Structure 1
Amino acid sequence: MTAAPRFLVLCASTRPGSLNRRLAETAAHRLESEGAEVRLVDLDDYAVPLYRGGIELVDGIAEGARRFAADLERHDGLVLVSPEYNHSMPGALKNLLDWVSRIKPWPTSEVPALLMSASPGALGGARGLAALRITLASNGMHVLDTEFALPAADRALTGHGFAEPEEDDRLDAAVKALLAAV
């Protein structure tokens, strides 16, 4: 018998009541319904100081970055749910990824990742996912071509599902693509 795949679901929004947190919970629930083991975390679980080479030189790699790297190694894949900030990713997420990129060999190398975003806007945070994709791929992560951007998320999210069945179908397709990648 093979072990259930294990996924780290990272929500990059720390705002109370975040739409992205609700989407991360929905994705985690959907993965669990497919038999996967899931650990849902957020950026606060991996707090790091602002990256500066001088800090690294004196203190080494920040503890939060080491914890994130260790969690990546303990899981078969990553679901990264991120809001869009000014057509990019949140600065705190970029900072964590900058710290993690200093660990050699890269703990992100070949990790299958599904990118997701939720926004009340018309594009669902897709522009932020494009910027995130570049950063992750440049550090060796296997970012899936399939991604999930949820527009009008303030109306679309309901419990652990969506108001419209086609959104459930899109999430199912994204989850299946991630499961196939591991």
Structure 2
Amino acid sequence: MKILAFAGSNSEESINKKLVTSVAKSFNNDNVEILDLNDFEMPIYKNEREKTTGIPKLAYDFAEKIDESDLLLISLAEHNGAYSTAFKNIFDWVSRIPGRHHFGDKPTFLMATSPGKMGGSTVLNIAANRLPFNGAKVIDIFSLPFFFEFFNSETGEIINEDKAVELKAKVEKIKNELAV
């Protein structure tokens, strides 16, 4: 099984990238590729730009990464209650590829984390409701609040026992459903 993992953030110190990287390690018997959205930076989408220059090759490259995968692990950064601009821009460009269901009808595990008590739950709820319309088959969601208290960045592990148990159960459920 090929797994594609990425954080919906372009921060070089992204806590969501730390989370998704940690979760990806739970699928240690599989082929996991972790993407960095910085490798897919494109001009901000606008209709006129698409008409004059077309869809950037990086949008096709990102879509190809999705198409080559069997499972998506996405941890979304929450910026002012919604997606980060970096994620939304890639999402917008990929949506313009003719005949494409953005997320390729792939099983998707959505996650979010933040330093506060909400754990990115606002963006997670937006994504869980929106992304299925765009070809993400959301099989579960996970929110990690209080990132700096609940996650050990040196070991890459969740140190809050309740959240660690919750995540482990969700990962096992996904593995069982997909026969990983």
The reply to whether TM is greater than 0.5 is yes
CA distance in 1, matches of 2:170, 2:59: 27
Structure 1 unaligned runs (5+)?
none
Residue 59 in 1 paired to residue 76 in 2? no
Shift of 1:125: 0.3
Shift of 1:74: 0.8
C-alpha RMSD of the superposition = 1.6
CA distance in 2, matches of 1:38, 1:129: 22
Residue 136 in 1 paired to residue 131 in 2? yes
Shift of 1:8: 0.6
% identity of equivalent residues: 29
Residue 46 in 1 paired to residue 49 in 2? no
Residue 80 in 1 paired to residue 74 in 2? yes
CA distance in 1, matches of 2:89, 2:142: 23
Residue 92 in 1 paired to residue 114 in 2? no
SS where residue 61 of structure 1 aligns?
Answer: coil
CA distance in 1, matches of 2:23, 2:54: 34
In 2, are the aligned partners of 1:117 and 1:129 still within 8 Å (CA)? yes
In structure 2, the partner of 1:122 is 117
In 1, are the aligned partners of 2:82 and 2:126 still within 8 Å (CA)? yes
Q: Greater shift after overlay, 73-82 or 162-171? A: 162-171
Shift of 1:122: 0.5
SS where residue 109 of structure 1 aligns?
Answer: coil
In structure 1, the partner of 2:25 is 29
Shift of 1:181: 4.6
In structure 2, the partner of 1:111 is 106
Number of residue equivalences:
175
Query: What's the TM-score once normalised by structure 2's chain length?
Result: 0.89
CA distance in 2, matches of 1:179, 1:167: 18
CA distance in 1, matches of 2:135, 2:12: 32
In structure 1, the partner of 2:158 is 162
